[in-house]
Amino acid sequence: MVEAFAVASGKGGTGKTTSTLALGMALAEEYDVTVVDADTGMANLLFHTGLGDADTTLHDVLLEGGAPIEAATYERFGMSVVPCGTSLAAFEAADPERLRTVVAELASTTDVLLLDSPATLGSKSAVLPIVLADRVVVVLQPTIPALSDGLKVQEYALSYGSEIAGTLFNRVRGDVGDVTAKADRYFEGPLLGTIPESEAAGAARAAGEPLLAHAPDSPAAAAYREAAGVLDPRTGDADAVADRFRSAVIPEPP
């Protein structure tokens, strides 16, 4: 195990799922990567990976006496992909605290774990990925409200001992130097990259493929590859990391 990252934002629709898969595919060139849809209430990673009709998903694993994680792990696009289902009943039946065990088990079999995280901080299932992660990638759109929401995620992450991997600006049009300069002042960690607005992102989603599989030569794909290079995952002792996940204290959400 090298490191677990949460890909989070505060705001919805900033590009967390797109970014999780793009960073995952880029890192998979060098590392053994597992991506997990930890947005268990509003899952959508399955649709970005052609797994819309997957038989077993993370929801089944999070049930009391549920399926083993292997049953919900699919080899896709050079990564191990753990999708989550979209049924509200399954979300309600799932026990979010079991995510600790899932992440601990994955820690022993993969190098880099990317947790696609929920937009809110409003429930146990929503805060867990941020609390469990070693570092948080904060995905922002270049607007002041997005920065403000991202700062709440940062504050929350830091208060639970998770570090900030850096900020990733997505759907960027034109010069956003003034916004990234502001972000640099308030966010920990480096600017990981600025991903341009790209029609290829929507087309990839419609095709059920990650951006780096659907349009590897697009400027957005190149920007994600560069951002993945800045991430520089760290080596951690697999057993120590797994123990930490297993014994993580799950806070009451703010």
Ligand X SMILES: Nc1ncnc2c1ncn2[C@@H]1O[C@H](COP(=O)(O)OP(=O)(O)OP(=O)(O)O)[C@@H](O)[C@H]1O
List of residues contacting ligand X (CB under 6 A): 9, 12-18, 39, 42, 44, 119, 170-171, 195, 197-198, 201-202, 205, 220
What are the residues facing 75 on neighbouring strands?
Answer: 80
Q: Tell me which stretch binds Mg ion (CB under 5 A): 42-50, 125-133, 176-184, 229-237.
A: 42-50
Q: Could you say whether residue 14 binds Mg ion (CB under 5 A)?
A: no
Nearest residue (CB) to ligand X, 197 versus 237: 197
How near is the Cβ of 17 to Mg ion at its closest, in Å? 3
* Residue 13: contacted member of ligand X, Mg ion, none (CB under 5 to 8 Å, by partner type): ligand X
Residues 23, 225 contacting (CB under 8 angstroms) = no
Q: Is the C-alpha dihedral spanning 45, 51, 53, 56 positive or negative?
A: negative
Smallest Cα–Cα separation from 165: which of 234, 84, 63?
Answer: 234
State which residue, 100 or 205, has the beta carbon closest to ligand X.
205
> For residues 116 and 22, what is the distance between their CA atoms, to the nearest angstrom?
11
Nearer to Mg ion, 16 or 100 (CB): 16
Choose from ligand X, Mg ion, none: what does 119 bind? Cβ within 5-8 Å by kind.
ligand X
Nearer to ligand X, 45 or 104 (CB): 45
Are β-strands 163-172 and 191-196 bridged in parallel, bridged antiparallel, or unpaired? parallel
Residue 220's binding partner, choosing from ligand X, Mg ion, none, with beta-carbon cut-off 5 to 8 A by kind?
Answer: ligand X
Q: How far is the CB of 39 from ligand X (least distance, A)?
A: 6
Least separation, in Å, of the C-beta of 108 and Mg ion?
27
The string of DSSP codes covering 112-172 is EEEEE--S--SSHHHHHHHHH-SEEEEEE-SSHHHHHHHHHHHHHHHHTTPEEEEEEEEEE
Give SS3 for 40.
coil
52 binds, among Mg ion, ligand X, none (CB under 5 to 8 A by kind): none
Closest approach, Cβ 91 to ligand X, in A, equals 14
Q: What are the strands of the beta sheet with 33-37, ordered from one edge?
A: 74-76, 79-82, 33-37, 112-116, 3-8, 135-140, 163-172, 191-196
Q: Which residue reads 């607005």 in tokens?
A: 197
Residue 76: CB minimum distance to Mg ion, A = 17
170 binds, among ligand X, Mg ion, none (CB under 5 to 8 A by kind): ligand X
Should residue 17 be labelled a site residue for Mg ion when binding is judged by CB under 5 A? yes
CB of 10 to Mg ion, least distance (A): 13
Crossing angle for the helix pair 144-159 and 124-132, nearest 10 degrees?
A: 70
Kindly state the smallest distance separating residue 171's Cβ from ligand X, in Å: 5
Q: If DSSP codes are grouped into helix, strand and coil, which group holds residue 248?
A: coil
Residues that bind Mg ion (CB under 5 A): 16-17, 44
